[in-house]
Structure 1
Amino acid sequence: MPILHTVNKSPFERNSLDSAISHALKGSSVMLYEDGVYGAMKGTASADKISGAMKDVSFYVLGPDLKARGIDESKLIDGIKVVDYSDFVQLTVDNDKVSAWT
C-alpha cells in the first residue's frame, strides 16, 4: 500500500522530514514543497538521510517552490525528481493514501 508523504516545513526548523522518512515504507514517496524544498539540497544534514532512503522510497520536489526560493536544480540531491503541480496531483492519485507531515 504506497503512501505519499508530504513535507512542507524546512528540516532546519522542524523534524517533519525525518518523521516522514522514518515512516515511509518501501514503495512509498516523499514530496517536498513550500519550505520543505530546503531538505532536497546537497550538503545538508538531510542529504545523507534522503540518499540512504532512496533505495526504497522515491523523492520529489515541487519545481515552482524551488524557483520561488531561488534554489537552482543543480543544488539538489542526485535522484530527487523535480515535478510541477500536475505531477503532484498525479502522485496523490497514484498512491493509496497521503500523509501530511507539518
Structure 2
Amino acid sequence: MLHIINKSPLTSVTLDTCLNTATGGDILLIEDAVYAATRGNAAEARLRAAMGQFKFHVLMPDLDARGLGDRLIDGVSPVDYGGFVDLTSSNKSCQSWL
C-alpha cells in the first residue's frame, strides 16, 4: 500500500498516526510533509526508526520549493511527478492521511 502524507510533522500528528497504524508499505511525503525527510527536523529520529518497516519517498519538487533539497535524509528516495505516478500505479491501493 502507498501511504500519502501531506501535513508537516511540526504542526500535525498525521505522520505519527500513519506510522502507528499502518503495517508497512511505501510512504510518500508531499507538500509540507517533506519537512519530515530532512536532516535536523523534529521527526527525523521517528522516520529513521521506521525505515525498517516502511520505504520512504519524498516529492522533490515540493522539497526544492521549500529550499530543502540539500537536506534529504539518507535512505529516503527522491521522486519527481513521474515517480509519484509510478508509485501509485505499482501499489495495489493508496491511502491519503489527512
- Name stretches of at least 5 consecutive residues in structure 1 with no aligned partner: none
Corresponding residue pairs, total:
98
Q: String of CA shifts for 1:70-98, please: whole Å, max 9, x gaps.
A: 1123x122100110001111111111111
Mapped pair 1:55 → 2:55: no
1:28-43 to 2 correspondences below 5 Å: 28-43=25-40
**Counterparts of 1:24 and 1:78 in 2: how far apart (Å)?**
22
How does the TM-score come out when normalised to structure 2?
0.93
- The aligned amino acid for 2:97 is W
Identity among equivalent positions (%) equals 42
1:20-99 to 2 correspondences below 5 Å: 20-26=18-24, 28-73=25-70, 75-99=71-95
Q: Does the 8 Å CA contact 2:26/2:56 hold for their aligned counterparts?
A: yes
Pick one of 1, 14, 17 that aligns with 1:16.
Answer: 14
How does the TM-score come out when normalised to structure 1?
0.89
Q: String of CA shifts for 1:25-56, please: whole Å, max 9, x gaps.
A: 23x01100111101111122211111111112
CA RMSD of aligned residues (A): 1.1
Moved over 2 A (4+): none
- Name stretches of at least 5 consecutive residues in structure 2 with no aligned partner: none
**Counterparts of 2:68 and 2:42 in 1: how far apart (Å)?**
17
